[in-house]
A and B are shown apart, each in its own frame.
Chain A
Amino acid sequence: MTDIALTTAHSPSRNWGRIALRWLLFTLLGLFALFYLMPLFVMVTTSLKSLEEIRTGSLVAFPREVTFEAWRTAWSGACTGIQCEGLRPYFWNSVILAIPAVLISTILGALNGYVIAQWKFKGANLIFSLMLFGCFIPFQVVLLPMARTLGIMGIAGTIPGLIFVHVIYGIGFTTLFFRNYYVTIPQELVKAAKVDGAGFFRIFWSIFLPLSLPIIVVTVIWQFTQIWNDFLFGVSFSQAGTQPVTVALNNIVNSTTGVKEYNVDMAAAIIAALPTLLVYVVAGKYFIRGLTAGSVKG
């Protein structure tokens, strides 16, 4: 009671203070929002300007005359070194690389997680720790032997080679995601199903898989973002024609021939970013869950 009395007694000055604080709060939040949005805004507006307008106008001005010329060039005409086919072939490289790599690593992760969480055998935890640890290594440490191995396997510089690499180094994370999810499902479920005569795959297929939709979404999004945005493996293990979109983007931006077309660079950057941005906008909740699950391990 005394509390309430005190607050009402102070109310006029307190209210003003509170309103001022509230304004300060919104101003700060707005400024931060500007900081994060500014690069995106600059990318979009620059990509819609002509080179002439870029040279004469301001970085943050809206385009006086909107032109999609830069987008057309970025998609199908910009030069990555000697070839001038734009981003399109490399965009498709990334698509046909990401889809199988995501699917295979997710399926393997689901099965591994299922075994480690529900069919414990001696040494299963050690195997899990070894896999978990593999998530942390800086990939530079496997780059050289992997380059040689891909050569020996005859898939150096090919898209199947890149798929192989992404699957191998994705297993650790996908296994972690599924293991942490399946570990929350009571073991009695498997025991009861076994009594009823169901086998390993039958239990997985008719009990675990139907429960797995959320974690499948998280894993697929995580893997897709990782693989689509990858640059290190892409630049190390591809050759002219099989490069993923990130490598092609970097080549376009850093190609030294001809006039520097900043509008084309920006359009190309947006094109390369669109798929993952789209995923983020559509399924942000799952994206964040993957990020936090990937970072707060165990």
Chain B
Amino acid sequence: MTEWLERHIPKMVLAPSFIAILVFVYGFIAWTAWVSLTRSRLLPKYEVEGLIQYERLFASPRFDTAMMNLFIFGTLFIIISMVLGLLIAILLDQKIRTEGVLRTIYLYPMALSMIVTGTAWKWIMNPGLGIEKMVRDWGFENFSFDWVIDPDMAIYAVVIAGVWQASGFVMALFLAGLRSVDGEIIKAAQVDGIPNWRIYSAIIIPSMAPIFLSAFIVLAHLAIKSFDLVIALTGGGPGYATDLPATYMYAMAFSRGDIGQAASSAMVMMAVVFAIIVPYLYSELRTKHD
């Protein structure tokens, strides 16, 4: 008996977590997928009706805006964060004595809740009292910066706050990458008289391809999950100008009482995440086996 116990203890220790993940991750995904195929409104129904919820979803101008916003926000957020992160990492890599302090400054936003970030930037970009007023008081009477209340520009305000929060993290990733490049190769290049910018563009940066990929994955993941930032900064507004799939899903689930729409939009988010993550995980696992 004790021997049997001793042999099976590892499995028994892992079992509760495994069952929990099975039920609360995979079971729940299955539930949501199922309900997304029904006519559920305020209460879930379980008769499968086909793709009507998805038809409604893609016919909805609000969800259309949300997907478009995700595309705009995601693209700009990822590109700007990467460029800024790489630039700062390279600048910091020039044997700066105050590197530690600067790194701490660049990275602290990552410790904040997105609600805090959104609150701070909402105030800074406040049209009446924020940057706009400040610049006008400097004498530029016609200066205008009212992105947070302009339906066409509000999503770019979200990009600013998002980049502010995440770019320091990308910097940290890249800095670690720069430091891991073989010093001998760089020294050899320097001895050959190759200028610094060429060393970066031809030797160091190409060798950091895996880090670019990681940074991309993390940022894409953050972009798709961005919910709190929009809620705090614009509340999804003006109107639904800054809705993302995440805020759309939440509105359908908890204020509109439209479970079918909530479930189908959640599944679309899931599909977007899959499209990005699966190839990445697949390549990761393959390289591990080789």
Which residues does A use to contact B, with CB under 8 Å? 3, 25-26, 28-29, 32-33, 35-40, 42-43, 46, 54-55, 58-60, 108, 111-112, 114-116, 119, 121, 124, 127, 129-134, 136-149, 168-169, 171-172, 175, 199-201, 225, 228-232, 235-236, 246, 249-250, 253-254, 262, 265-266, 268-269, 272-273, 276-277, 279-281, 284, 287-288, 291-292, 295-298
Contacts and interface: CB of A to CB of B under 8 A. Distances in A.
Nearest to B221: A136
Contact of A58 (B10, B134, B221, B263): B134
Contact of A141 (B10, B221, B266): B266
A39 B120 contact: yes
B232 A253 contact: yes
Contact of B227 (A39, A171, A232): A232
A39 B121 contact: yes
Contact of A36 (B6, B106, B265): B106
A25 B90 CA distance: 10
A28 B91 contact: yes
A171 B119 contact: no
Contacts of B20: 168, 171
Contacts of A235: 231, 250
A127 B14 contact: yes
Given A25-B91, A115-B14, 7 more contacts: A108-B16, A231-B113, A231-B227, A249-B119, A269-B115, A277-B112, A295-B217
A61 B169 CA distance: 29
Interface of B: 6, 9-11, 13-14, 16-18, 20-22, 24-29, 31-32, 35, 44, 88, 91-92, 94, 96, 102, 104-117, 119-124, 126, 129-131, 133-134, 137, 164, 168-169, 172-173, 176, 191, 193, 211, 214-215, 217-218, 221, 224-225, 227-228, 231-232, 235, 245-246, 249-250, 253-254, 259, 262-263, 265-267, 269-270, 273, 277, 281, 284-285, 288
Contact of A200 (B10, B111, B134, B215): B10
Contacts of B270: 137-138, 140-141
Contacts, number: 260
A21 to B, nearest CB: 9
B9 to A, nearest CB: 4
A243 B10 CA distance: 37
A276 B115 contact: no
A229 B113 contact: yes
A3 B228 CA distance: 57
A191 to B, nearest CB: 14
12 contacts: A25-B91, A35-B164, A115-B11, A121-B11, A130-B22, A141-B270, A236-B253, A249-B115, A279-B111, A287-B111, A288-B172, A291-B172
Nearest to B27: A145
A82 B82 CA distance: 43
Contacts of A175: 17
